[in-house]
Structures are given as C-alpha cells and as structure tokens.
Amino acid sequence: MHTFLPSLQVLEIINCPQIESFPEGGLPSNLISLLILACKKLICNRMEWGLQRLQSLKVLGFINGDPKFFDCCDVKSFPEENLLPTTVTDLGISGFGNLRTLDNKGFLYLTSLQYLRIADCPKLKHMPEGGLPVSVSHIQIRDCPLLTKRLLRKKGKEWRNIARTPFIETIERNPLNKANQLFVDGELSTFLS
C-alpha cells in the first residue's frame, strides 16, 4: 500500500471482517488519519501494522463494533507498548468487550496525545497506572460503566490518574429508564434522552 498510494493521508477501513493484514510494505508514511471499524481480524493483528514508523499520524481510531458480538481477540490491556507513534493527538478506542485496563507502557510515550475517546468497553476498570500524558486535555468516556464509577471526583479509585486533565466527560446511557448520566469533571448530573 505504501508503494501504491504514497500520498494517501486519510484511510478508513469499515466492515471488512475478512481482512487480516495490510499489503506488504505497510501503510503509507504520509498517513495523517487512520480509522479501523468492524474489522476484527485486522485489529487482532495490529502489532504487525508498523504504526510506530508513521510519524505523520495524528488521528487513530480502533472501533470494534458491538462489544457483545466482537471480543477482539480477547484484548484485556490496550495499547500495547510500542504500538502507537508518539505523533498521535487523537485516539479513539471502542467496542473492546473484554478490555480491562489502559496500559501504562502503551501511553508512556504518547507525548502529543490531546484527545482520548473510549466507548463501549463494559469491563474497562483502570486508566493507566501512571496517569495519562500531561498533553491530554480532553477525555471522553461513553458506556464504560465500571470505569465511570471509579472516576467520581475525589471518591473514585481512578480519579487520581486523570485529575489533572482539564476536561473529562463520561456518559452512561441507561436504556431501561431513558435516564442518562453525564459526568463532567467527575461531577454527576442526570438527564433524559
């Protein structure tokens, strides 16, 4: 792909469950934005993508679809050490049904990261143990109920790992009573959808 599309800057691969890897030569080095949506086999092989060498990559999204139906290779910790380039400013993670923790080593060198979006990870309980990079200014967490409980301002066990982030938004939808909970900077408010 690198040799066929050297000028490609935005790549979105959506609903291609049989794709297992990128062509030989890897991804184009000029890539700025990469979105992988509902491509389970491809996401399972993410360590082979060579993302580290993509020094122009700013926006990256791993969206696995409905976590009830996609286990995404039983990922329990993400991102792995040395998976992501330091240039990523916007990272989205969604639909990892078995994800339990955000890996400290995976976030350690993401010194450009500003926006972190996490959604539909029902078993996620832990933010990176050492906290997020100081560059992170916005965290959005949606439908990660175990983590949301642990992020309550000053009470939650995970609050200290994100407390220095200027804007923190967590949203939990409750389909049974149509009431939603929105936590902004660890403060709870309930609203109707």
- What is the total count of domains within the chain? 1
User: For 65-80, how does the pLDDT look when each residue is reduced to its tens digit (9 = 90+)?
Assistant: 755 555 666 889 999 9
Domain that holds residue 99: 10-141
| 94 found inside a domain | yes
| 46 found inside a domain | yes
- Is the bond preceding 79 in cis, omega lying within 30 degrees of 0? yes
Question: How many other CB atoms are found less than 10 A from the CB of residue 167?
Answer: 12
Residue in the structure block whose two tokens are 């959005």: 140
Task: Please report which confidence band the pLDDT of residue 89 belongs to, taking 50, 70 and 90 as the band edges.
Answer: very high
Quick one: pLDDT at residue 179? 47
Let me know if 127 is exposed, middle or buried by CB neighbors in 10 A (0-12, 13-18, 19+). buried
| 126 found inside a domain | yes
73 touches 43 (CB < 8 A): yes
| 103 found inside a domain | yes
Residue 109 to residues 30, 43, 88, Cα–Cα distance (Å): 20, 21, 10
How many Å apart are CA 20 and CA 73, to the nearest integer? 12
| 180 found inside a domain | no
| 80 found inside a domain | yes
Share of the chain above pLDDT 70, in %: 82
| 186 found inside a domain | no
**pTM (2 decimals)?**
0.86
